[in-house]
Structure 1
Amino acid sequence: MNGVVHVLTADVVGPHAHLARFTVHLRHLPHDPLAVHCDFLSPDGRPTATWVFARALLEEGVHGLAGEGDVRVRAAGTHTELVLRSPSGRCVLYLRTAAVLTYLARTDTWPPAVAECVARAVDELLAGLTTAD
């Protein structure tokens, strides 16, 4: 099964407070159903950087504030702020909340496949935790 790729335009404020506009792909993959893969694309359409974080951060952040540490998401009127921090600095993406909600709805349409994958991952995790060395 292929993943869901949602194309968005984001206004990005980088470490030096410069505003730029980027095309961003939010990807949801069947083998990693609890994660969002956020690809920044170069002007010619090639991914230049990818951040991976919990899908739950977007679900919570479009309605309030979510996250601690390297990834934070916050509702900001018609936009959703996605703050990414690394040792080299921080950037803030401003995504249209309607586009984020569309992405979340598209990725919510996979219940059987996602449920099976999540169940398998939970079973593996529990087996690993309960297996004595």
Structure 2
Amino acid sequence: MRTLRNRKGAGMLLLNEKLAKPIPSLMADEVTSASDPMAYVRFFTVRGWSWWLLALDRESLIGLSYVVAPGEAICNGEIGTVDLSELAELEVMRGLGVERDTSFEPSRQSVICGEEVKHAK
């Protein structure tokens, strides 16, 4: 697996072998049958987009992610595929790209949604 950085390779480390190691493959049973999937890495933009990486094809860098659009509640996101190479090249605003949440700890989707509810009170 190649190392992935934002902004054409000069910016923040988004994903490397060490970060990808615990992430299951796209076709793993734990991913395809999970009702409460585990998120391993969180990416975000200053514009409010968030992606939580659930699974990964290490060769193509296609991932399965839970994505939330700006202004949407965390629990109203959608699960779909994302090309991480394209995500890394995305310029959001004035040279800013997608970033990795370095404080994120792997969590189940229900925990991510629960955290939003907890902070809203």
Question: Does the alignment reach a TM-score above 0.5?
Answer: no
Compare the two structures and name the one with the higher helix fraction: 1
TM-score computed with the length of structure 1 as normaliser: 0.26
Larger Rg computed on CA atoms: 1
TM-score computed with the length of structure 2 as normaliser: 0.28
